[in-house]
A and B are shown apart, each in its own frame.
Chain A
Amino acid sequence: MDFDIIFGNAARAAFGPEAVILALAAIGLNVHFGFTGMLNCGQVGFLLLGAYGTSVSVATFGWSLWAGVLIGLFLSLALAAALGFPTLRLNPLLFAIATIAAAEIIRILIGSTDAIGLTGGPLSVSFDAGAFYDLNPYPDGPQDRYGIGTFEFTGQQLWVITVGWALIALISLAIFLLVRSPWGRVLKSIREDEDAARSLGKNVFSYKMQALLIGGGIGGLAGVIDAIKTSGADPNGFRPQVTFFAYAALLLGGAATYLGPVLGAVLFWFLREWIESFLRQLASESWLPGAASDFLDGAEGIISVAMVGLALVLLMLFRPQGLTGNRTELHLDAR
């Protein structure tokens, strides 16, 4: 049992591209759910359109990567508008259902055999993200590694996460500047009581739409990075659980805080990879019964995801406001 390796793996996952993508998805969700109180259950839909918008533009239409990025972002904004206009004036639960349904419908359409010519259908689509890696300042020979022990990245990976974390920093700053302003005050008032906001002259629909676009666009950006990271997209990568992983990260870190979604995403991937590596080591030293090892290999990390779920349950029991949340706020609901 080598805990250095386990820790190294966990740390690599916590700062790697997967965590970047999850953090961005959770930041977007925080704008929807944390600050505005909109129950978006289909955040993955925005990621999906970001990723496929980029991939299809380059792979199928042969446009440049940067055009693809813009199209990916545009499509995720278009999804926000298309979801928001019909549903935001109605019951909030209808919005929740519409988001999850829209995300699933898009995933199924894109992954259907009829769409093979356009999106690759059930096969994944892949493209050349060279335009992005051409900008990579890190030497990227076959021997080049950055980091220590198992906490190491290739030059390409390091470039992706450098850009990713820079974007996270920029976006978090922008969200901070927005939310501490009177504009953010209106968002929170809508979360607390829409009718109170209306009675004071705030156009609730307009603010919700703005929040939906901002959070959806950030989700789209997460998808774009996903596409660049894997040089393609696969419909199976955009199942509904992605949304719930983003919720898990958000709640772990603390909803309606500025750093909560980022901390939560880091912690989520750290825990998940730590448990996964730990179990794999157990299995390799045959301390684990054969059936359990099958689980490890068969379903994609099913045990580690279950463990993260357990961690979340424990967190809700002992620190329900999340890592960075404010405990007094939480107890107001009980009054």
Chain B
Amino acid sequence: MPDELTPSPDSPRPAATPPPNPAEGPGKGEIEPILTVPPVPGAPKPNPILTVDNLARSFGGLRAVDVDHLEVERGVVTALIGPNGAGKTTLFNLLSGFDRADSGRWSFDGRAVTAPAPDQLARQGMIRTFQLTKSLAKLTVIDNVLLGAPGQAGERLWTAPFRWRWRDQERENTGRAEELLERFNLAHMRDELAGTLSGGQRKLLEVARALMANPVLIMLDEPMAGVNPALGQSLMRHITLLAHEGMSVVFIEHAMDVVTGLSDWVVVLSQGRIIAEGPPWKVIHDDDVIDAYLGRRRAGDAL
């Protein structure tokens, strides 16, 4: 799969800028609207799925997240990078409702998030995975994935005992879940308990389960950590394809080659603040980023 849609640092796209049209997704041969956005922290986007304002979270004296303004563009792949302890996971936790912000506002998919509850946000289409995987050990692999399916009639107490009310839907979901397992190299583990999977397989399972939920926005916390690089890259490329069908993707990743290879846009977090954002090939040359994150000496190696 050639990286047509993911510019590499060696061949930056010409900065031709046709007028962005937020109503339409990026069509074939068209320049994505995201590339017209100026690469400055907090830059407004043409069609944001997520808009964050003045979000802050402290642990004791430590300001783990302190974001003045952030917009995440719809239908593109955004990488969230930053050194260890920069606040990436904490930012995910806040946005998805798993942690309480000290202050701040954000809106998701055009709706202000006033009382963030994780399950409610998930039902609206914001699906996140966890850095420390949460596989459901005593459920089978297929049941883990099936759990992700949205809107299941059989999950309601009143319909659950009557199999004919949910059998068809379950069959459909099972078909889709099996396709995902196939793609994630887990088909042979279909009926094993998820607790028997290896660390990398659990990561894969969690991403498959998240995709099963048909997310509007998928937020992946180091999805490929511990996964063999070839498989990881091919899966992430699959996810970027889904992004071009309209799903929005934010992923946290430390490996620079993965970030530059897969993302359309990069947001750099350091000590809780956004210190840079922009297309990957630009961000990587940003002096602040190199100072804060890559380190001058390693900047050359990474490219």
Contacts and interface: CB of A to CB of B under 8 A. Distances in A.
Given A185-B143, A332-B196, A201 B161 contact: no
B5 interface: no
Interface string B201-232: 00000000110010000000000000000000
Given A195-B98, A329-B193, A182 B146 contact: yes
Interface string A171-212: 000100110011111101101110111111111100000100
A199 B130 contact: yes
B138 A201 contact: no
B154 A182 contact: yes
B248 interface: no
A192 B154 contact: no
B62 to A, nearest CB: 23
Interface in B129-154: 129-130, 134-139, 143, 146-148, 150, 152-154
B98 A182 contact: no
Interface string B180-203: 000000000000010110000000
| Chain A interface size, under 10 / 10 to 19 / 20 to 34 / 35 or more | 20 to 34
A328 B192 CA distance: 10
B127 A199 contact: yes
Given A199-B127, A200-B209, A201-B150, A182 B134 contact: no
In the complex, which of the residues A182, A197, A201, A203 has the most CB atoms of chain B within 10 Å of its own CB atom? A201
Contact of B122 (A185, A188, A199): A199
Contacts of B129: 199
A196 B155 contact: no
A177 B196 contact: no
A38 to B, nearest CB: 15
Contacts of A183: 154-157, 160
A174 B163 CA distance: 12
A198 B139 contact: no
Contacts of A204: 119
Interface in A128-165: none
Nearest to B156: A183
Listed from nearest, the 4 A-B pairs whose CB atoms lie closest are A332-B195, A182-B154, A183-B160, A201-B122
